[in-house]
Structure 1
Amino acid sequence: MKKLFLLILLLSFSGWLIAQKTSLFNGKTLEGWTIHGTEKWYVANGELVCESGPDKQYGYLSTNKHFKNFELSLSFLQEADGNSGVFFRSSIEGVKISGWQVEVAPPNRFTGGIYESYGRGWLVKPKADDEKWLKMGEWNNLKIRVENDHVTTWLNGHEMVSFKDDKIAAGKGFIALQIHDGGGIKVRWRDIQIEELK
């Protein structure tokens, strides 16, 4: 009887842990997100796609909800140039975004590094040897953990950067996907899941 009780308790706890991870993208619509700018954001074959528009400017797709401490996981596939990124604790006016970006870019352009938009610029870049973990033209898995002042990123299971910063600790705002300016850029996203941390 005691073993049965412990088993039920363990299963209940496991279910609670699973329930904490939620999907930010339903694979069908952009529900829960807001488009900023004239770049293209749409859903195709269950994937979220961002593509350069006629203005060839920056574009963002932000969550309607704000997130403070979290672990975010997603997959991305870069087509053409592909320069993009994932912003966190951010805010925006027009297409001028304030906050921090985890870079998503072609080889040797610091995917997994942290950049402060309209501020200090690059805060931390991955080591040159870690560029090998990026699979250009294939699906990549990116994980971002933001907890108080500490940000850690992983690419395809390998830690890229781990960084602490007082300014990040004070930040607040949404998560946003970015498409860079310049034209000819296309990035696909899927499996966007988040677990909020206390």
Structure 2
Amino acid sequence: MTRCLLLASLFFSGLAAAEPEKIFNGTGLEGWNVKGATYWTAADGVLKGESDDKKQGSILWTDKSYKDFTVELEFRFSGDVDSGVFLRGEADQIQIGTSRSKKRDMTASPYIGPKSGYPQEAAGVKELLKEGDWNKMKIVAKGGTYTVSLNGKQVVEYVSDTAKESGPLGLQIHPGVKMKIEFKNVTVEGI
């Protein structure tokens, strides 16, 4: 009997360890640091980035670094926003909202800074994106391969030759635009 309990305990503790880590606690910015303007607040389970008339840039970075991972989050915006999720540093990003260079929505598309643009556009986003409502994004980063799903449907798989091996995750408010974006249920899981 004792042996069965010990085995069951080990089995279930292994399952618990496999759960994604909440990297936003719903009430504060613990575990994060701001680079740029202090536009980020947290309350009632929602992480909000809202710029002002100065339209400065701001990135909210995780204190931790990640190698291969799956990040899942929900985001909501309406109107003109330029945001995204930085992957292991500022070079590679998955866009949320309107690209300043393309002048159109490029949500879920990879933006690769060293290439100065979008090497591949996410497919079917116009039909999937719910502006003004919560959207769910899943990004799997394994080496330089980024697989992105929006609201349960895979929309892009891209292989980056500029991907860093390890680094923090970041949430962006792009300079030059007055905007508001909200995030919730932000989790990451190592793979």
TM-score (structure 2 length as normaliser): 0.86
TM-superposed deviation, 1:36: 1.3
Q: SS at the partner of 1:48?
A: strand
Letter in 2 for 1:172: S
Matched, 1:188 2:189: no
Equivalent position SS for 1:151:
strand
1:143 is aligned to 2:135: no
Q: CA deviation at 1:39?
A: 4.9
Cα RMSD, aligned residues only: 2.3
SS of the residue corresponding to residue 175 of structure 2 reads coil
Contact 1:38 1:53 in 2 (8 A): no
Q: 1:37 and 1:161, CA in 2 relative to 1: closer, same or farther beyond 3 A?
A: same
Give the corresponding residue for 1:76: 75
- Deviation larger for 180-189 or 107-116: 107-116
Query: Contact (CA 8 Å) 2:28, 2:43: kept in 1 or not?
Result: no
Deviation at residue 164 of structure 1 after TM alignment = 1.6
The answer as to whether partners of 1:36 and 1:60 remain within 8 angstroms in 2 is yes
Gaps of 5+ in 2: none
Q: Tell me what 2:91 maps to.
A: 99
SS state of the match for residue 173, structure 1? Answer: coil
Aligned partners of 1:46, 1:149: CA distance in 2, in Å? Answer: 31
1:67 to 1:12, Cα distance in 2 relative to 1, 3 A: closer
How many residue pairs end up in the alignment? 184
Once the two structures are TM-superposed, the CA of residue 117 in structure 1 deviates from its matched residue by 2.2
- CA distances 1:14-56 after superposition (whole Å, capped 9, x unpaired): 33322xx111111111111111112511113221000113420
Q: Structure 1 residues 34, 163: closer, same or farther in 2, change over 3 A?
A: same
Relative to total residues, which structure has the larger strand share, 1 or 2?
Answer: 1
**In the TM superposition, what are the counterparts of 1:15-94 in structure 2 within 5 Å?**
15-18=16-19, 21-90=20-89
The aligned residue for residue 116 of structure 1 is 112
Structure 2 distance, partners of 1:64, 1:16, is 20
> How much has 1:156 moved relative to structure 2?
0.4
Task: Kindly provide the amino acid, as one letter, of the partner of residue 184 in structure 2.
Answer: R
Change (3 A) 1:165 1:67: same
Equivalent residue, structure 2, for 1:94: none
**2:15 alignment counterpart:** 14
Q: Identity across aligned pairs (percent)? A: 32
Query: Partners in 2 of 1:163 and 1:194 — Cα distance?
Result: 20
Structure 1: gaps (5+ residues): 91-97
Deviates more, 1:33-42 or 1:153-162: 33-42
Partner Cα distance (2:111, 2:66) in 1: 18
- Distance, in Å, in 1 between the alignment partners of 2:16 and 2:37 is 41
